[in-house]
Structure 1
Amino acid sequence: MHCILKYCWTFLLVLTAICGRASSILLPMDEVQKDHLKSYGIAFWILKNGSTVDWLLNYRGGSFLTAYNSNTENECKIRGVTYEVIDDGKVSEIMTQINDPSVNMDVVKLEKAPRIALYSPKNKGGLEDAVELVLKYAEIPFDYVYDEEVMKGDLQKYDWLHLHHEDFTGQYSKMGNRGRFGGYGGFGNGFPGGMQGSGFGGEFRPEDNAESKAAQEARAQKLGFKKVSKMKLAVAQRIRDFCANGGFLFAMCSGADSFDIALSAYKTDIVDTQYDGDPPDPNAQSKIDYSQTLAFQNFTVYTGMQRGFSDINNQRRIPREEDFFTLFDFSAKWDVVPSMLTQDHERVIKGFNGLATAFNKDKLKPGVTVMGETKTLNEARYIHGEYGKGQWTFYGGHDPEDYQHSPGEPPTDLSLHPNSPGYRLILNNILFPAARKKSQKT
């Protein structure tokens, strides 16, 4: 009997030691991490498989902590993600450090993988945008939805929606035969053509847009609209309703400013003849309704052949070597939402251009949170706000690792940029809806 008890006790000690060694898995998100982007994919994979993840805000770059599971460990090895197996004592030490009231850290529990959709045509003619690229690289599943699905009511199936590089005003990004993407801003002014001012105008060419003009006109007719601009307005209003009802909305580049502009112009016509067959309303500006928008107000809409959509997009003049923006440091314990959205291993992010590169801070609505800015230019690069029961984030520029991408160029190979701090901001937004709701303290 004594021998049996001795062996049982020895077995329990060994079991305890094994459990102690393999209590949790930590995905460090500081400079130690070999692949920051795929780490988000691991976190999503864990949620998808029914487990939870603790997001350790401001601890080692916003690390992830989850209960030990051999399958999770194997998945980290397969995807090349740096991980650490830590025991209960180390977990307790980390939590004590984070919970110290004098330390700017906090824990947010991620509980359920969000259902993700991209508002985008499936065939974009080589115009994949940054969100699509990083979701594929991180192995995070998503669905495509476009005008038909939105008008059919399919958005209710999803928690998170990204607006692919899109022109919701129905002007096809104003890309004529002399004003194509132009390197998404040339020297950095955020307009096609850059400082050289090649401008817009000329005959519309199908290859200038993700979809041909004819294809969009056919879809508008199929859905019962006389103009593409009217169809896009109806779609934008449905997307705004999605946000108001509790959805999470994310947009980059022209998907951000053109969305608000289209909503504001619901009572007038801002589209020129070459795009819809009739001239814009000469009194369009007086009929703009800023109460309809999410982020912007008091902007001037550009009708006719004028470059760009409005003065929301900051007309910038800055050399590439000086182009960067800084993330704000928020209180993790008090301002939980912006803290989640700005988790990164770097606080200074290199700039990148787009049709909408940066947002004029003078055009932001009260209550909009600026999370990243280029202070010397009075411009916001990364903003967030609430609308109804939902929340939205707008991120200026087209591709964080391609300073001035042009159509026809190959898409960014993210295997060459696995630690991109600019792309991390996108993935923060992907995980944001998975968080257990915490009361906002400010």
Structure 2
Amino acid sequence: MMRLIPPDDCVDEIARRLEAIEQHRGLNALLGVNPEAMALAKRYQQQRRRGELIGPLHGVPVIIKDNIACAPLPITLGCRALASVRATADARVVQRLRGAGAIILARANMSEFAFDVRSRSSLAGDVANPLCPTVTAGGSSGGCAAAVAAGMADAALGTDTGGSVRIPCSYTGLVGLRPTFRRAQLDGVAPLSPSKDTVGPMVHGVEDAALLHAVIHGRPLAPLPVRSLEGVRFGVITALQGSDDAQLTVWHAALHQLRQAGATIAEVALPLLDDVRKATCLSLYEFHAAINRWLSTQPGAPAGLNEIVTSGAFLPEFAPFLQQMMTSHTLKTPLWLAGRRFQRLLRQSLSDVAQQHRIDGFVYPTVQQQPVSMEKMPPGCAPELSAISGFPAITLPCGVSRHGLPVGMEILSVEEDETELLSLALACERCGDFG
């Protein structure tokens, strides 16, 4: 059932969400609430009474990760050194959200600079998982995931460079879409790795993901094609299934449900998988130049990465990482070029395997292991398949382990248009008691 529909009472909707924010402050999910949210709700409610709906998200509250510009709110990347920086213009995706009638409710906490798969920032600390507050909500879009899972909103926009939408959605039982890489969608988004950065929806269901995706990409709104799983061939990359017994029990039950619904499950091997595990992170070479360009456009921001490092106003644990990034002053180094070549090789390899085995979508657990603490949990290389290749992927919950935490199933499509992927995900979501 879709949740992202214009509320009957915009004021009541925002009041209810603000109350949820107050109740869940201990999660550290947010960095700040939009002070104009209630005033906007009152204005939108008056328009609703006159029958003047702005768009399909009229009065719907949305939470935004704090590396996506929402003028005139702060944009801090979770870093104390950027605490006074305010956005002077909306990111393109935010413009489209507002144009559809959405109310930007709050800014989400995140892994500082979007570096990590656990959300910890020098501005607000660790983001806790609302389903189990002693473990991490994941990262780097963990604040978005925690906020949606806790009921502060039914939708959030996160960024995904190596899994930062999908990992926290897996940890918190949400649906998260990493779209096909498109550079134009990054206008107004603070960079981590410009050759891999994307913006994606974090929601409760596939249809809501499709709606939000269409809005932020300026696409025509249309219902997802409803399809059966009869005749669908899923390629299970068995080497990505991991060794977490509690998760594997849920995973194999989910595959059984897909078979029961008519899908064919074919075990496949990916020739370049070992190379994915060893792939050099392109952000090591891209971040320094990219963040300096971004900082130069932000009034009141530090003059560059060197000034941030000198200030010490960031998480000390990231100091070695930042120092390593500081050594890269330019792109097109041999290592960066090798990374770009590998992107093309992986893309071709996935396409070849899909064609050879007539695969409609690759499937595997979104993460290798469920979280057990606030510390970083190695997610495995599964999320990198989409991130490196540029192909779209979506995670959706496929069950709950005996520890009470959700298990995410990721589906990757080699079709650049996300419609096929979303349609497959919707068919899985409707598969009996799947999830």
TM-score by length of 2: 0.24
TM-score by length of 1: 0.23
